[in-house]
Amino acid sequence: MLNATPERRRFFRINDTVSLSYRQIDEATAGLGLKSTGLISSEFSLAATLDVLSQEALRIMQRLEKQNPEFLELYRILDAKVNAVAQAVMFVGCNVNAQNCQDVNLSASGLAFDQAEPLDVGQNLAIEIYLPTTLALILVYGRVVSCRASDTKPDTAEKYTVSVDFTHVREEDQELLIKHVVRMQWQQLRESKAKPEF
């Protein structure tokens, strides 16, 4: 199911490091949504499918672990192998470079990132996002809602902070984003509690 997000629900936001690529699209293309353009290919739906299957398999394996603990160990090895193959398949034909990550502010309804060139407010974008921690490759459509000069040091090149609201996102991908944000929030909270106070 594809979500055109006319009702702007707000989601938790996190600072994260992801790999992303975008291209500008016109209003007509944006209006068609993701499904109509045929852009949802197997590599973009693969992450969502694998996430669901991994959760189902883990529930079963945790029950089987009581009978034989080696089952869970075997499951983890097989899951890692499947994820490695899936990661290789996901990057065939997409514009995202998994090694080229950047800092973003991310939620299930949008993101903000810094870049060297400004974008016009209202510009429609097709955005590919790779979440390294969950091996998820997601395609969304979004609209630039803000573009302002970033606070940069005097001797560095000017950068712009671009804020984008997602206009079209698959329901499965939005669920992946929500899970990712919650996991990262929990991890950041755990790390901050583990730091010694002086």
Residue 31 domain boundaries? 11-194
- CATH number, domain at 163? 2.40.10.220
Q: Compute the average pLDDT of residues 166-189.
A: 88
Query: Does 2 map to a domain?
Result: no
99 pLDDT tier (thresholds 50, 70, 90): low
- Domain-embedded: residue 112: yes
d(CA 26, CA 18): 25
Predicted local confidence at residue 10, as pLDDT: 66
Task: Answer whether residue 44 shows pLDDT above 70.
Answer: no
Asked if residue 148 belongs to a domain, the reply is yes
Q: Against a cut of 0.85, is the pTM above it?
A: no
Is residue 103 a part of any domain in this protein? yes
Could you give the number of structural domains in the chain?
1
Select the more confidently predicted residue: 85 or 73.
73
Q: What does the pLDDT read at residue 37? A: 47
